[in-house]
Amino acid sequence: MVALPSDIPLFRPARISAPALRQALAAGMQQLISRREHLNRINVFPVPDGDTGSNLAFTVSAVLAGSLSRRTRSAGALLHAVAEDAIEGARGNSGAILAQFFCGVSQSVGDAERLSREAVACAVEAGARQARGALAQPREGTILSVIQAFSEALQVPHVDFGHWLGSAVARARVALADTPRQLAVLRQAGVVDAGAQGFVDLIEGIHAYFLTRRTHPLPVEEADESATSPMLDWHEEADASRPWCSECLVAAEAVDQDGLRQALVAMGADSVVVAGTAQRVRLHAHVADPGALFEVAGRFGSVGARKAENMCAQHRAAQRAGEVVVITDSASDLPAELLESLPLELVPVRVSFGDEDFLDRVSLSNAEFHRRLRKAEVLPQTSQPPPGDFRRQFELSLAHARSAVYVGLSRPLSGTLQSAETAAERCASGRVRTIDSRQVSCAQALLAIAAAERAAQGASADQVCESVLSLVPNTFLFAAARDIRHAVRGGRIPRWIEPLAKWLGLTAIARTRPDGTLGVAGALLGARRVPERFARHIARRLPPAVRWRVMVGHCDAREDAQKLLDALCELVPVSRRWLTETGPAIGAHAGPGTLVVGLQIESCDAAEGAATA
């Protein structure tokens, strides 16, 4: 509950102007953002993935950076812009509901220059109605119940503006306190609904502004955190068979929102929210297959801003909260099983086949990528995750750890690292570190694994970074492309080399250089026993070492990859070994059949981490 100072003159407007509304909304949203970590801690419904605070903060941050960052001619125009920004930036179940609430408020207000109390009451009522209508399966004891209580209280007239608004905020607090009675999972955890709490934080900040004209967050009487259950087990209401929290924007001349909502329910989606305007909607749902959801959405309009996050993985991350969490991108080709055993998170790169866009490993598996690649008439394109993807992952990680360390794709090879650095600058100062691995694929993965092992030992962010940087010069990558047509089509190899390579039966070999660039480093002549000969080629070029960590990746060539890994283990002393299927970062440029090898000199820190794991 906000603690209002008693020594500031009260501000009681007869009608709310656009400047006053802008300041009030900004104050409320800043109040909400300041409570992000508390909201993450008490997030147990519908899924205990600890991200409601981050979702709501991301949603209102889009509004603060957009419509609330500039002056607007009227209150109606301001609310229209707020609704658009909220839909554009909405994240999560509560974020989408809040965005729909603002859409309803905006539509009710229209073009009004100033807002009377009656207009505000009607607008909030419309917002509450639309927020509820956005859900396929609305539940009481959530943000919907609190919005409804706030709306009903505003319908009661009062002479004094401050008391009128304050009474409605107080009614919302009562509804918030009642949420555990309405939802058993909240009662069992001893918490209120996180989304509902976020809405109360928002309106408390707005109320505080109208009483005091203060725009920065005010002190809040915190609940006893020991009474909350941030480590709550996965409960019965959270369906683990639909682990993907999936979202996108759907645009059309007239989006059939009811039809879209029904289609999603028919495909078995849960927590379905369809929020927005007639031309542009934000879609949120929990599903087993994000790709199937995006395919359904594509029948109702053009699909953009795809996002999908594994809530089970988020729940595991929240339970193993520690000093440092390590993040890498999917260009690392990190084996999936390590994401469950280590404090490691993955940000997917983007992939496109013509007009079809995908999220690597989320809406497009490696197996499906290679199937499409073999049939593709148009070469697939890859692009780095935008800063927003990194920022969201950083904020989610920082909700459960003191610091985050990103081990990124080599700067000369991609803009991915720069995208992560941009996101890191917008997060909490000094809490996100970024490292240029100067590698890609399996070699990048080895550095991320080493970082995560140090983090699992309880190392600080400085210690994790120091360990990784010491390993960068001792980590190497080799790649063998048996079919260079994809590299030629992509412009990475001159076209005249292709017929010569085919005639001679050449397998081109590339390796990363110390500066992080990738260059041709030789070739194998003939098609016989390529994996074994490639292993000998690598072994002859390795510096002496006591033990090596080896990871072999393949582009739809598992049998050859296994032969390569076995041959390497006979030629060099190997302490740990992994076999993984590479994704679009390699496959889109090198083509099917490509083999990739990452090698790293075993360090004392890494050996201790392996023993711990």
Summarised one tens digit per residue, pLDDT across range 57-89 is 999 999 999 999 999 889 999 999 999 999 999
- Mean pLDDT of the 132-136 span: 94
Is the backbone peptide bond immediately before 46 cis, with ω within 30 degrees of 0?
Answer: yes
Q: Tell me: do 192 and 327 sit in the same domain.
A: no
Q: Is the pLDDT of residue 12 over 70?
A: no
Rounded to two decimals, what is the model's pTM? Answer: 0.77
Considering only CA atoms, which of 301, 275, 284, 304 is closest in space to residue 106? 275
Last residue of a domain, one of 439, 456, 471: 471
What's the pLDDT at 490? 53
Q: How confident is the model at residue 95 (pLDDT cuts 50, 70, 90)?
A: very high
Token pair 């980590």 is found at 475
Q: Tell me: do 51 and 164 sit in the same domain.
A: yes
Q: Which residues of 242-278 are buried (b: 16+ CB within 10 A; e: fewer)?
A: bbbbbbbbbbeeebbbeebbebbeebebbbbbbbbbe
Q: In this predicted model, what pLDDT tens digit does every residue of 208-237 receive, in sequence order? A: 998 887 666 655 555 444 433 444 566 666
Q: How confident is the model at residue 452 (pLDDT cuts 50, 70, 90)?
A: very high
What's the pLDDT at 7? 45
Q: Is the pLDDT of residue 113 over 90?
A: yes
Q: Is the pLDDT of residue 137 over 60?
A: yes
Domain contains 226: no
In a 13 Å sphere around the CA of 598, the CA atoms on its Cβ side amount to: 33
> What is the torsional sign of CA 477, 482, 483, 484?
positive
Q: Is the pLDDT of residue 390 over 50?
A: yes
3 state DSSP class of 595:
strand
Last residue of a domain, one of 254, 282, 309: 309
What's the pLDDT at 9? 46
Last residue of a domain, one of 471, 502, 526: 471
Domain contains 229: no
> Residue 351 corresponds to which tokens in the numbers above?
């992939």
What's the pLDDT at 3? 54
Cβ-contact 464, 455 below 8 angstroms: yes
What's the pLDDT at 141? 95
Full strand arrangement of the beta sheet holding 350-353: 356-359, 350-353, 381-383
What's the pLDDT at 488? 55
Q: Tell me: do 320 and 438 sit in the same domain.
A: yes
Q: Which residue has better confidence, 592 or 413?
A: 413
For residues 206 and 97, what is the distance between their CA atoms, to the nearest angstrom?
19
Burial of 403 (C-beta count, 10 Å sphere; 0-12/13-18/19+): buried
- Mean pLDDT of the 323-351 span: 92
Average pLDDT of the chain is 87
Q: Tell me: do 560 and 511 sit in the same domain.
A: yes
Q: Tell me: do 274 and 423 sit in the same domain.
A: no
3 state DSSP class of 83:
helix
Domain contains 45: yes
Q: Tell me: do 27 and 157 sit in the same domain.
A: yes
Domain contains 605: yes
Q: Which residue has better confidence, 226 or 102?
A: 102
What's the pLDDT at 161? 85
> Which amino acid is located at 581 in the chain?
E
Domain contains 303: yes
What's the pLDDT at 340? 84
Q: In this predicted model, what pLDDT tens digit does every residue of 158-191 receive, in sequence order? A: 778 888 999 999 999 999 999 999 999 999 889 9
Domain contains 387: yes
What's the pLDDT at 505? 61
Q: Range with the lowest mean pLDDT among 1-5, 114-118, 420-424, 521-525?
A: 1-5
Considering only CA atoms, which of 97, 82, 29 is closest in space to residue 58? 29
Q: Tell me: do 324 and 303 sit in the same domain.
A: no
Q: How confident is the model at residue 607 (pLDDT cuts 50, 70, 90)?
A: very low
Q: Provide the pairing of β-strand 401-408 with 322-329.
A: parallel
What's the pLDDT at 487? 59
CATH number, position 488: 3.30.1180.10
What's the pLDDT at 224? 43
Range of the domain at 553: 473-612
Token pair 């070699």 is found at 443
Q: How confident is the model at residue 266 (pLDDT cuts 50, 70, 90)?
A: very high
Q: Tell me: do 210 and 94 sit in the same domain.
A: yes
For residues 126 and 229, what is the distance between their CA atoms, to the nearest angstrom?
35
> Residue 16 corresponds to which tokens in the numbers above?
């709310």
Q: Tell me: do 377 and 467 sit in the same domain.
A: yes
- Mean pLDDT of the 404-411 span: 96
Q: Tell me: do 97 and 190 sit in the same domain.
A: yes
Cβ-contact 448, 334 below 8 angstroms: yes
For residues 443 and 551, what is the distance between their CA atoms, to the nearest angstrom?
8
CATH number, position 441: 3.40.50.10170
CATH number, position 24: 1.25.40.340
Q: How confident is the model at residue 355 (pLDDT cuts 50, 70, 90)?
A: confident
Query: For the chain, what is the domain count?
Result: 4
- Mean pLDDT of the 279-297 span: 93
Q: Tell me: do 446 and 482 sit in the same domain.
A: no
For residues 86 and 59, what is the distance between their CA atoms, to the nearest angstrom?
6
Domain contains 518: yes
- Mean pLDDT of the 90-98 span: 94
Q: Tell me: do 433 and 531 sit in the same domain.
A: no
For residues 373 and 371, what is the distance between their CA atoms, to the nearest angstrom?
5
- Mean pLDDT of the 245-272 span: 94
Domain contains 3: no
> Which amino acid is located at 319 in the chain?
Q
Burial of 566 (C-beta count, 10 Å sphere; 0-12/13-18/19+): middle
- Mean pLDDT of the 577-592 span: 86
The DSSP-derived string for 292-347 is HHHHHHHTSSEEEEEEEEEHHHHHHHHHT-EEEEEEEEGGG---TTHHHHSSEEEE
Write the DSSP symbol of residue 512: E
CATH number, position 258: 3.30.70.980
Considering only CA atoms, which of 527, 526, 509 is closest in space to residue 518? 509
